Amino acid sequence: MGFVRSIKKINKQRRPLHHPHLDAEHEPLLASLALNLSKIRQTMGQSSDLIVREILLRQDPLVIQAAIVYMDGLADVKAVQDFILPSLMQHRHSLPSSLLQIADLINEIKQMSLTVANLREITDFTGLFESILSGGTVILLDGAAIGLAVNTEGWEDRNVEESTSQTVVRGPKEGFTENLRTNTALIRRRIKDPRLWLETRTMGQMTKTSVALMYIRELANEKVIEEVRIRLDRVRIDGILESGYVEELIQDETFTPFPTVFNSERPDAVAGGLLEGRIAILVDGTPFVLLVPALFTQFFQSPEDYYQRADISTLIRMLRFFSFFIALLGPSLYIAITTFHQQMIPTTLLISLAAQREGIPFPAFVEAFMMELTFEILREAGTRMPRNVGQALSIVGALVIGQSAVEAGIISAAMVIVVSITAIASFVLPSYNFAISVRILRFLFMGLAASFGLFGIMLGMLAMVLHLSSLRSFGVPYLSPFAPLNYMGQKDSMFRFPHWSLLTRPRLISQINVIREETPPAQKPNRRET
């Protein structure tokens, strides 16, 4: 009964609260300009960055009061001064003087006065506040219950710079910014096809964040597109400040260490995903774009794999898979072999390890746990501190603490080597959030190795594979193309075949137009041609 009462209490707390001022925003605009301006000032709390410029419009033989409303810092003040104000104040309207003709005056302003491209009508306070808080300018007329919203966004944006989270040696150096329209333009620069569709919606009760859905019409699966729409429309939250909010709210599985939504800061990586039939989710205010469906092999791939030769890319990918197993099982294998299976170690090496461990007061598991925990603390501290100081802290901390621990007889030298190789191997993985999953599972495998030896590691690997086989990313098996096995998909999984042989898209992602643009046999490279 206590558990049921707790659930009811939580559900009661999750019910939307009644906010009178939010309900008032849905009221329609009034015909009185003074009442509209009073309502705006009252709702905004007399904010100092709210600019209300009252002007007079000439309508022979009368003069009509009007007002221009915008937010200082969000709207482009130069655009307001150069295009909106002169167009309204210098243009003489020649309509009948009756206030019943105010709708004709609004139409004349729209069609003949304003020299702006993006213009729309608003009829309620919700649209008014959404417009001015998004950088727009609203024009209100006395006697009209309709306003004109002009797009005058003018806040400061970060320039397009190189991606800091996914660096490459060869390839484009552009990275997404915090501006949604800049990000969509960077993708359209690479895919100049009218079938690249864009759907925009607003999420967040208070932040009103713009979230865009981008896909190629004849490549993306319609069922997956509809599923993404349903999950986005189902989100009820006060604010969306980063794409991580959306990722956590729409992912398939909650209780899994593995990410089922891919994110990237590179336009070329997102464009490549779109060409395979995936769907991109762009969130205003963050440079990280989400890609769904996401597969296990996708987190081992880098955009640079497609810019290098096929043999080089294949070697690097195999190196990443090998580094994945080192980062996951390195300390646990050392613990299991030195604790339970000493007969597997050559005699000379066993004598050397025994000599190093002489005088060490802790078992191998405690050694590994302390070193791994110390390194995680150093890595987190180096990430959160200023960049220059953080690099120095990581290097000095690792060297000083490791050497001091060995000299003090707390940690063996072999354990320092194992932990160092494991940490370096984790940096080989291109995806940061996938590397975090490996770091979490590493401690679990260390506990299994300390308890059951190699048998515990085998049980852990079996459980992990079964868990991965059960995962889905928007209906697509997470281990595809390994399970279910797809021979054509092996060309771009652990290996990377030449571009002229990659004739099909991932079968379980793009089910409409699976065949890529085929290369005729006559265009195939011929070594005899000179």
pLDDT at 528 over 60: no
How many angstroms from the chain centroid is the CA of residue 361?
46
Structure tokens at 164: 């800091």
Are the beta carbons of 337 and 457 closer than 8 angstroms?
Answer: no
CA 33 vs CA 103, 200, 521: distances in Å: 15, 32, 72
**Region 206-222: what's the mean pLDDT?**
90
**Region 112-126: what's the mean pLDDT?**
82
Backbone φ/ψ region at 277: left (φ over 0), alpha (ψ -120 to 50), beta: left
Least confident range from 3-17, 107-121, 308-322, 358-372: namely 3-17
Structure tokens at 261: 């939504």
Q: Give the tens place of pLDDT for each residue, 131-146.
A: 898 888 999 988 888 8
> Across the strands, what pairs with 119?
150
**Region 249-266: what's the mean pLDDT?**
90
Q: 3-class SS at 511? A: coil
**Region 373-389: what's the mean pLDDT?**
77
Sign of CA dihedral 171, 516, 197, 209: negative
Bigger pLDDT: 218 vs 261: 261
Model confidence at 388, pLDDT cuts 50, 70, 90, reads low
- The residue ranges of every structural domain in the chain are 20-150, 180-294, 310-477
**Region 350-359: what's the mean pLDDT?**
84
How many angstroms from the chain centroid is the CA of residue 423?
25
pLDDT the model gives residue 47: 87
Query: What is the percent of the chain with per-residue pLDDT over 70, rounded to a whole number?
Result: 86
pTM (two decimals): 0.83
pLDDT the model gives residue 394: 62
pLDDT the model gives residue 20: 42
Q: 3-class SS at 337? A: helix
Least confident range from 389-398, 441-450, 515-524: namely 515-524
CA 336 vs CA 150, 322, 357, 458, 459: distances in Å: 68, 19, 15, 11, 13
Structure tokens at 476: 């697509």
pLDDT the model gives residue 484: 84
* Angstrom distance (rounded) from CA 43 to CA 36: 11
Are the beta carbons of 197 and 215 closer than 8 angstroms?
Answer: yes
Q: What share of the chain is helix, strand, coil (3-state, %, to 5)?
A: 50, 15, 35
* Angstrom distance (rounded) from CA 120 to CA 122: 7
Name, in order, each residue with C-beta under 8 angstroms of 482's C-beta and a sequence gap of 6 or more: 296, 297, 493
pLDDT the model gives residue 398: 67
Structure tokens at 4: 């049921």
pLDDT the model gives residue 384: 77
Model confidence at 525, pLDDT cuts 50, 70, 90, reads low
Name, in order, each residue with C-beta under 8 angstroms of 255's C-beta and a sequence gap of 6 or more: none
- Tallying the residues shown for the chain, one arrives at 530
The Cβ of residue 310 has, within 10 Å, a number of other Cβ atoms equal to: 18
Are the beta carbons of 427 and 216 closer than 8 angstroms?
Answer: no
pLDDT the model gives residue 18: 42
Bigger pLDDT: 236 vs 508: 236
pLDDT the model gives residue 318: 94
Bigger pLDDT: 269 vs 11: 269
Structure tokens at 92: 């003489």
Model confidence at 100, pLDDT cuts 50, 70, 90, reads very low
Q: Which amino acid is at 524?
A: K
pLDDT the model gives residue 331: 93
Least confident range from 61-70, 250-259, 468-477: namely 61-70
> Across the strands, what pairs with 72?
75
Sign of CA dihedral 187, 232, 128, 104: positive
User: Which residue in this structure is represented by tokens 């080597």?
Assistant: 417
pLDDT at 506 over 90: no
Q: What is the DSSP letter of 496?
A: B
Bigger pLDDT: 521 vs 384: 384
Tell me the HSE value of 85 on the side-chain side, using a 13 A CA sphere: 14
Q: 3-class SS at 443? A: helix
Bigger pLDDT: 154 vs 139: 139
Residue 121 dihedral angles phi and psi, to the nearest 5°: -95, 145
Structure tokens at 260: 């089922």
Model confidence at 393, pLDDT cuts 50, 70, 90, reads low
Q: Give the tens place of pLDDT for each residue, 434-481.
A: 999 999 999 999 999 999 999 999 999 999 999 999 999 998 899 988
Q: Which string of DSSP letters, residue by residue, matches 352-412?
A: HHHHHHTT--S-HHHHHHHHHHHHHHHHHHHHHS-HHHHHHHHHHHHHHHHHHHHHTTSS-
**Mean of all residue pLDDT scores within the chain:** 83
Query: What is the percent of the chain with per-residue pLDDT over 90, rounded to a whole number?
Result: 35
Are the beta carbons of 135 and 49 closer than 8 angstroms?
Answer: no
* Angstrom distance (rounded) from CA 269 to CA 171: 11
pLDDT at 151 over 90: no
Q: Which amino acid is at 159?
A: N
CA dihedral 413, 415, 418, 420 (to 10 degrees): -70
pLDDT the model gives residue 93: 54
Bigger pLDDT: 440 vs 390: 440
* Angstrom distance (rounded) from CA 470 to CA 464: 10
pLDDT at 9 over 60: no
pLDDT the model gives residue 397: 67
Least confident range from 72-81, 163-172, 322-331, 404-413: namely 404-413
Structure tokens at 297: 């092999």
pLDDT the model gives residue 138: 92
Residue 289 dihedral angles phi and psi, to the nearest 5°: -105, 140
* Angstrom distance (rounded) from CA 188 to CA 459: 47
pLDDT the model gives residue 91: 62
pLDDT at 14 over 50: no
